[in-house]
Amino acid sequence: MEERQRSEIARRFPKEYLKKRIISWDIPDIFRYNDPELIGLLNNKVESLV
């Protein structure tokens, strides 16, 4: 997540921003919809959080 995106979230939702943790998974925006490699990356990231 870029700093400007984080700042925009904080600007639009200041109360929620202070109460929530924002997680950036650093997955590049190079995948097509339902790309098997993207789905695998997302599944791995989610599994590491639960």
For 3-46, what is each residue's pLDDT tens digit? Answer: 899 999 999 999 999 999 888 888 999 999 999 999 999 999 99
Which pTM was predicted? 0.62
Cβ neighbours, 10 Å, residue 46: 10
The separation between the first and the last C-alpha atoms of the chain, rounded to the nearest angstrom, is 21
pLDDT the model gives residue 11:
97
How confident is the model at residue 3, as a pLDDT? 87
Q: What is the pLDDT of residue 2?
A: 84
Whether residue 1 has pLDDT greater than 80: no
Where in the sequence is the domain holding 37, given as residue range(s)?
3-49
Q: DSSP letter at 21?
A: -
Q: What is the pLDDT of residue 17?
A: 93
Strand, coil or helix: 11:
helix
Domain tally, the chain: 1
